[in-house]
Structure 1
Amino acid sequence: MQVSLKPHPSSPPGPIESLEVMLEPEGSQLWLRFTVDGRTESVVWPRPAEGRADDLWRTTCFEAFVLADDGYVEFNLSPSGRWASYRFDAPRRGMRHAEVTPTPPKLNAGADRTALETLLTLPPGAARLGLSAVIEATDGTISYWALAHPSDKPDFHHPDSFVLELP
């Protein structure tokens, strides 16, 4: 399946023309490929690194939110290769490191298209999915992309952002 993310109405114009996500469930896992089209040379791409890290969303980062039993899991996927996963009991409450982890994200860059690919292990009871991205431009502006923007400010944790049903 392929879906399109859209920028939040309050996001400034930036170098990105479109952001598509291919997704495919594979048993208890979910394969994701985020593809960014536009002036990708004008996007801040974090330097290569490895392992779990916090605050990845402060610059260009791709995210998946999975509604599951007793809360949800947030996956942060940096183009650097770093990642994070957090478990929440309710929107922005009870945050802790999640036991489920993604495969390290891999970046594939081209002249006007860049893609990030990963495989997530879904938490028990995974039911709904929200997809989003933070895109930082080299001029310092930040745009917020998601499947749905249910509030007047960018809020990827909003329950109405989890719009895709998982099989």
Structure 2
Amino acid sequence: MPIFALQPHPSTPCSFVMEVTARVDRDTDGALRCVYETRGDIARLRIPPTTEPVRTDGLWRHTCYEIFVRSPGSDIYDEFNFSPSGAWAAYRFERYRSGMVELELGQPPRIACERRDDRLTVSASAGASDCPGSPLQIAVSAVLEDQDGRICYWALRHAEGKPDFHHAAGFAAVLAASRQA
């Protein structure tokens, strides 16, 4: 599983977080497997309480982890949001921030959360992609909320200007085609 180091957006510093990484892979049917690890003073991070794995809009307003995926050269992309609570969201966009519809998944993503004093690990596995035999461009990101309600944005790569995980500049890595059984 490749490991990606996320960077804080310069306009939203987060002094109590030392590092955010994500490991991302695909299984044989194209399902995404993501493991996000946040290191730092985790007591200062606002972590939503555990709930049933239910589709929920607006997860980006609080601590959550995200991945955006698209076929190379395509304007169409999918967005997955994974909350440490177990809530999730999945959307498809026709092009940059336009034509959004809920992405239908065969089953809800599986999300697990492990919290320690110095680390929060969120693991998620979400539905098959449309093209398991092809590589995908990915944008990996995290929204971290502190106990005072301040938000900081972390991403593999940030576009210039305000935080914007949908921007094409964020699709900074290529995930290989699914491994064959």
**Given the two structures, how large is their TM-score scaled by the length of structure 1?**
0.94
Query: Counterpart in 2 of 1:13?
Result: 14
CA distance in 2, matches of 1:154, 1:134: 10
The 10-residue stretch of structure 1 (82-91 or 117-126) with the greater mean CA deviation from structure 2: 117-126
Q: CA deviation at 1:102?
A: 5.2
Give the letter aligned to residue 112 of structure 2: K
- The answer to whether the 8 Å contact 1:85/1:98 transfers is yes
1:7-57 deviation per Cα after TM superposition (whole angstroms, max 9, x unaligned): 001113332110011122212122110000000010000011121110011
CA distance in 2, matches of 1:115, 1:61: 11
Q: CA deviation at 1:121?
A: 2.4
Give the letter aligned to residue 142 of structure 2: A
Q: CA deviation at 1:166?
A: 2.0
Equivalent positions of 1:109-124 (< 5 A) are 109-124=115-130
Query: Counterpart in 2 of 1:62?
Result: 65
Give the letter aligned to residue 21 of structure 1: A
CA distance in 2, matches of 1:78, 1:65: 15
Query: Counterpart in 1 of 2:179?
Result: none
Equivalent positions of 1:15-164 (< 5 A) are 15-27=16-28, 28-50=30-52, 51-68=54-71, 71-100=76-105, 103-125=109-131, 127-164=136-173
Q: CA deviation at 1:127?
A: 2.0
Percent same amino acid at aligned positions? 37
- What's the RMSD between the two structures over aligned residues? 1.5
The 10-residue stretch of structure 1 (33-42 or 5-14) with the greater mean CA deviation from structure 2: 5-14
- The answer to whether the 8 Å contact 1:48/1:81 transfers is yes
CA distance in 1, matches of 2:126, 2:35: 11
CA distance in 2, matches of 1:165, 1:121: 18
Tell me the number of residue pairs that the alignment of Structure 1 and Structure 2 aligns.
167
**Given the two structures, how large is their TM-score scaled by the length of structure 2?**
0.87
- The answer to whether the 8 Å contact 2:55/2:87 transfers is yes
CA distance in 2, matches of 1:140, 1:103: 26
Unaligned runs of 5+ in 1: none
1:53-101 deviation per Cα after TM superposition (whole angstroms, max 9, x unaligned): 1001100010000114660000010010000000000111001100136
CA distance in 1, matches of 2:11, 2:159: 12
- The answer to whether the 8 Å contact 1:12/1:141 transfers is no
